[in-house]
Amino acid sequence: MREFEFYLPTRVLFGRGVVENIGKETAKLGKSALVVTGQSSARKTELLERVKDSLKESGVKPVLFEGVEANPCLETIKRGTKIAKEKGCEVIIGLGGGSPMDAAKAIAILSTNPAPLINYFGRNKVKEVPLPVIAVPTTAGTGSEVTLYAVLTNTEKVPPLKETFADPSIFPRVALVDPELTLSLPASVTADTGIDAFSHALESYLSNRSQPLSDALASEAITLLLKYLPKVMRNLKDINARSYILYASLLAGMAIAQSGTILVHGMSYRLTTDLGLSHGKACAILLPVVSEFNLSQGHPKLTSLSKCLEENTEGSTTKELVEKVITRIKNLITELGLPQNLKTRKIKKELIAEFAQEVMQNKAKLANNPRSVTLKDVIEMYEKALWGYEKGE
Ligand SMILES: [Fe+2]
């Protein structure tokens, strides 16, 4: 067995109702907290009120920063940081999906480190210890509650670019992972975020930086998501199934915190910024084609992955195993009501070439990807994902 390192400093509290601990947990870290939330759901579901009440009961002053958009931009982080500094916040709480949690991490960095924020994009660029972050996910997908990543939109680039911070100092101190908070999610968000979690698990498993512990987490996440995501789609109020997918999303987050993601995520960013696809949909249309590319010439974990997907592997050739894996992935995507590809020729060849050239600059994702790629390979994968598998389809 090869050597590996595993680092995960986040204390995780998992279970129905654990969000009620927010006041008690925050009080251990500071006297006032910036509560970062998304557009409106935390207010609509009265979660925000519950969090405020819990903070006040524990003697913590809540300061609200509401309305963080999907794929938050630099301006939003600046505004949040200004409020945090003016009000003397000592803790940043990210309450919501990936966007508010990632925004909370970025505000935590900028509260103790000099602007501009773009100086910290990349790996290990943060100098001063950020303010402590408490993460409370309300979707089962991003895994941000247990990662060292924050993805933001760099609006200073033309066109705007999704960029990532990766720094061990931004692992949340505490993650309150409460399945009841996901009960009100509509089917579309459940599917979008669910496939993101599945993609994290699969990408982690295939990543060149994967290791025994991340593999254990990723394979368990794959098994649970395959079993429970379709169940949740059939009954959105199934709290048992909701619990398992939130748990699986947590496992997948822990896995990518060690292994990183591969080209599915690497190729997805421009589909969100330029084509307006949600993060989950972008991953859904890339998953089959990128997985096929990576597995088609064989992969050391192809058999174990097939088993994990509950396929009968006995006597199968590599080609048959790859077919089984890809069919299983496509079936899951269909069960979730997501597209396997866009089948739209409206997306011009020139734009695809531009996307692909940018992917070739993302050295971290290229290094993680199990099969080396050329510009031509990336263009062909984009064409299949965006135009459909059969040329002219
Ligand atoms: Fe993701």
Structural element, H or E, at residue 138: none
Compute, in angstroms, the gap from residue 200 CA to the centroid of ligand 1. 6
Number of other residues whose CB lies within 10 A of the CB of residue 117: 22
Contact in structure between 278 and 337 (CB atoms under 8 Å) = no
| 262 CA → ligand 1 middle, Å | 11
Report helix, strand or coil for 125.
coil
Q: What's the 143 CA to ligand 1 centre distance in angstroms?
A: 8
Name the residue ranges covered by the structural domains of the chain.
Answer: 11-182, 187-387
**55 token code pair:** 């903070």
Classified by CATH at the fold level, domain 11-182 comes out as Rossmann fold (3.40.50)
- pLDDT score of 390: 55
Q: Where are the beta strands (DSSP E) in the chain?
A: 11-14, 32-37, 61-65, 91-96, 122-123, 133-137, 149-154, 161-166, 174-177
pTM of this prediction?
0.95
From ligand 1's centre to the CA of 199, what distance in Å?
A: 7
Predicted pLDDT of residue 392: 44
Q: What value, to the nearest 5°, has the Cα angle with vertex 156 and ends 154 and 162? A: 20
Q: Mean pLDDT for each consecutive 10-residue tract of the chain (393 residues)?
A: 92 98 98 94 87 98 96 96 98 97 98 95 95 97 97 88 93 98 96 98 97 97 97 98 98 98 96 92 96 95 89 85 94 94 83 96 95 97 85 46
Given a contact cutoff of 8 angstroms between Cβ atoms, the answer to whether 142 and 185 are in contact is: no
Give pLDDT, residue 103: 98
Instruction: Tell me the C-alpha distance between 305 and 223, whole Å.
Output: 10
**Residue type (1 letter), 300:** P
Q: What separation in angstroms does the CA of 116 have from each of 78, 107, 133, 304?
A: 9, 12, 20, 45
* Ligand 1 centroid distance, CA of 142 (Å): 5
Q: Ligand 1 centroid vs 100 CA: distance in angstroms?
A: 14
CA of 254 relative to ligand 1 center, distance in Å = 13
- What is the 333 CA–ligand 1 centroid distance (Å)? 15
Residue 303: partners with Cβ closer than 8 Å, 6 or more residues away? 313, 321
pLDDT score at 140: 96
C-beta separation of 107 from 163 below 8 A = no
Cα 359 to ligand 1 centroid, rounded to whole Å = 16
Q: Same topology for domains 11-182 and 187-387, yes or no?
A: no
Q: What is the DSSP letter of 39?
A: S
Which pLDDT does position 393 carry in this prediction? 43
21/360 Cα distance (integer angstroms): 44
- Choose among 285, 297, 270: nearest CA to 373: 297
Q: For residue 13, what are its two tokens?
A: 């509290």
Alpha carbon of 196 to ligand 1 centroid (Å) = 5
Superfamily of domain 187-387 in the CATH hierarchy? Dehydroquinate synthase-like - alpha domain (1.20.1090.10)
Q: In the beta sheet, which residues pair with residue 137? A: 96
How far does residue 314's CA lie from ligand 1's centre (Å)? 33
Give Cα separations from 36 to 75, 90, 96, 110, 329 (angstroms): 14, 13, 8, 14, 34
Please name every residue paired with 136 in a beta bridge, in sequence order, or none if there are none.
95
Contacts of 279 (CB under 8 A, 6+ apart): 70, 71, 98, 192, 196, 268, 272
H or E element that contains 213: helix 212-234
Query: According to the model, what pLDDT value does residue 105 have?
Result: 98
